[in-house]
Chain A
């Protein structure tokens, strides 16, 4: 009887020359790989973590302003265009794709506090601490692309001087009215040098103002007396008011569900409200470690981005209590009121740009 026993010769199982590849043998018997399912699970988890570590959300910095950037606005008709205003009164139009200044708008004395673009994308409205509202012509997109010459400056279409310094401005989504805030809320028309309407509730400074994207006559403001006030332009007086425990620095409407808005509060969290039911917040978004300075919704209305005094940017789900993503870099500083974050979400690819 012949009995066979395993015997392996080294020559058979190793490479002949040192330049050869190592020989590889496979045996797919599951008993050789115990707990394979758990191992695969851990591998998938590690791969997801590594992908997050190596993701690079920072696209690039745009250099040019000589002082801190205080406000930004995006052009609703031309996604490559981005306006920014700085503390020294300088307003620039940027081409995000090329990261270059397309146009400069000199004129403001003192800080620019608010920027907004009309719905058709033709007119830029700016306001500042020098108590002026300036209207500017936005160059047509095709022209700016063909024009590769150095920075060209523009003259304002109109300059309206008013009684007090301004803190914020927002344009109606559908119409030609815009609202400024400061000591009171003023509603302006493009063609008139005086506000067409003024609202006041209390004597405190109104910090931010935002028009409702669905209902063109409704706007929300936050004031330094810790209040959030809703206005309706068809009525002569403010509509609703909520007093919070701490001040709200900024407010943003959900563009897809325009009855909902989210307020960025000093107490490190954001509060989402239903405008029809202001007695309690629908969601509280926690996570920041310092006052939330600004907030902006993504065009899909599913997420929003917040910037905080703790030098981080966070992305929240519209209904999520905790942030989905945190970004921070060394260069981000604690600029009080002057750092405004801005985000584009284009088909789930995150293009993010921040200014210092």
Chain B
């Protein structure tokens, strides 16, 4: 975070034009910056490496770490996905929902969410041109969007002064908080930071029941306009970018205290970084693995529905049921009521009773197939010609 802002400062002085967004690529050596006309890729020293002209005037950039995809949304509402390893353009979609400068990637499944001025949130993956999900979440335009690191919670804020927390497994509102937010961010431990004007608020899930309440607040000197708040991973630090620079404040309990050396190591040596780069490139995921439910990967497709029993099988079943009934020995009744003819009659009744469910089933199926046939016949003739069809004599 420090470094990012530092680079942006430096970049600003260097490029002398608007920089709307910056994002790091797979490690801290490279970053992409969305400038006035095109996004550019720079290295750590500020040397321009690439100009990505196909993206156009980009408003927001996101990088999908596992897939090595750089996603961008430009002024005309086009969503671009570019593979940064080979430079291949993986997806180029027209959102059709107008200009949008709210974009976040869901770290859980790699799906990209866009917030639109109509109050809808749309979710995208690089292999389909239509959005996976379109949900109307606010009355007014959406001003900010953030995902919980476990991927099940999403926070949105609208211009109608509401912050909503969504459950992404059911696509339902869990909680509606009052207040406006220009920017939102979840920390690794699940704290939610919102910034508006010169005031930062931290919400926390203090009870552990997904019920967010106010945890901390911080007001900056009057007149500072907060542009973005961002938690620093593995640290209890919140970075605030505002109209005159950037500040950082301590938020206890926001960062993950135990890091994993194989995932992200704050004390990484350059040799380790080089090794990690190779390893992550080998593990690069294809864009098809982005889906709403990533647990589907590696599972077996469910078996087809069980087929209907054949006629012979059904008959055999019926036969067996009848045999079962026949083999029942009758209780001996009192003298005079123990006639063999009565016994035979009783047995006959039992057999009929045993047969009935099978016959009923058969009748039902026959009726169903007849109905199907009928509808098919109806379908054959266009409606204009149906009056000429021969009336059925029934």
Contact = CB atoms under 8 A, between A and B. Distances in A.
Interface of A: 3-6, 8, 10, 13-14, 22-35, 37-43, 46
B234 A6 contact: yes
- Of A6, A40, A41, chain B has the most CB atoms within 10 Å of the CB of A6
Which 5 pairs of residues, A with B, have the shortest CB-CB distance? A38-B289, A27-B260, A27-B258, A5-B236, A31-B149
Given A6-B235, A35-B294, A42 B283 contact: yes
Contacts of B256: 27, 29, 32
B298 A40 contact: yes
Contact of A25 (B260, B282, B283): B260
Contacts of A38: 66, 285, 289, 294, 297-298
Interface in B249-266: 250, 252, 255-264, 266
B291 to A, nearest CB: 9
Interface in B293-326: 294-295, 297-298
B338 to A, nearest CB: 65
Interface string B269-293: 1001000000000111110010000
Contacts of A39: 66, 283, 285
B284 to A, nearest CB: 7
B263 A35 contact: no
Interface residues of B, number: 38
B261 A26 contact: yes
A42 B285 contact: yes
Contacts of A14: 267
Given A25-B258, A25-B261, A42-B285, A34 B151 contact: yes
A40 to B, nearest CB: 7
Contacts of B297: 37-38, 41
Nearest to A13: B267
A239 to B, nearest CB: 39
Interface stretch (B68-76, B105-113, B171-179, B328-336): B105-113
B150 interface: yes
10 contacts: A6-B234, A6-B257, A24-B261, A26-B262, A27-B258, A27-B260, A29-B258, A31-B150, A35-B108, A42-B285
Contacts of A35: 66, 108-110, 285, 289, 294
A93 to B, nearest CB: 48
Nearest to B295: A37
A49 to B, nearest CB: 11
Contacts of B282: 43, 46
Contacts of A29: 256, 258, 260
